[in-house]
Structure 1
């Protein structure tokens, strides 16, 4: 479990292919503090740390992950958001995040608002029941608040700190982001679907 509060960013130093999988070497100031077999969110995707050396850590993304996220587009030099799993004795500053990406969304507008930034996105309409005005959403691992919610679009506002310390500052119109919808909303939707069947 994660909170959507990014601890640091990392840089992709090397990308390797192994069958249908991709292996990523990520350099960050967190890498030396990690442990083998630890879960770490990489731009919203929970991946297992497999090896640590020289200020870098290695993770593998399988085909299913590559198909459902933007990891297939990662290349040497790509910046990724990093968050270690939450501690049960800590504060939940964002919201409950699993690190399981549900879909991709496309950035359709970036507006500088004189001290903050507004990003707008489109996403598959089949997920429209999972977003609400002022609800929570995770974009590239970042916990953000929704507004201007439509059937297949929404906007989020980004404060200067988040803009400076995450990879959202490199996001441009046409770019894709990893989306995880609020887990509570997914459970409610599932219960309503099951109730309709009975």
Structure 2
């Protein structure tokens, strides 16, 4: 990594520094006003630059949002991958804890990618590709779980022919169903926790997360 940095020209290094600073200010804006309140002109003013000058580093608001979403998904994918490596392979429990730790570390980053979609924004293919990496890691873990002897559900049968979202993963329908169950229930818990909906209810959200995870694994 250091060699790659050294290979850059001073102009390239300066450009990278400015883009990084712009993204830092963008995250600050998102923390206070949400992604819909993101303004390049406001960032330029805070950095002592003119709007046109800043547009030399980001062509527009959509490019900046894409960079932030790409960084967020990449961070989540790396956290899940690191968890799988530490566990000697994809492990559902380890992945769930890695996801929660990642979400708690930066709730605004979490909500940018797993909260309400940014109006009018469409992620480019490389960004959706990173999101697919995350799901593929979870599918690997669910496919490795012991298979149930219970008969398949109607939703299992539905998934046998509605699996485009799995991006070609060979997991059987029951594993696809398990992955979706983990994904939806754990994200539901995290979204409620991070939005503060458990505040004042008198229980430990971490223990609720563990209980839900145990219930999912027991199935």
**What is the TM-score of this pair, normalised by structure 2?**
0.22
Report which of the two has the higher share of helix: 2
Ranked by relative contact order (alpha carbons within 8 Å, sequence separation 6 or more), the top structure is 1
Larger-Rg structure: 2
**What is the TM-score of this pair, normalised by structure 1?**
0.24
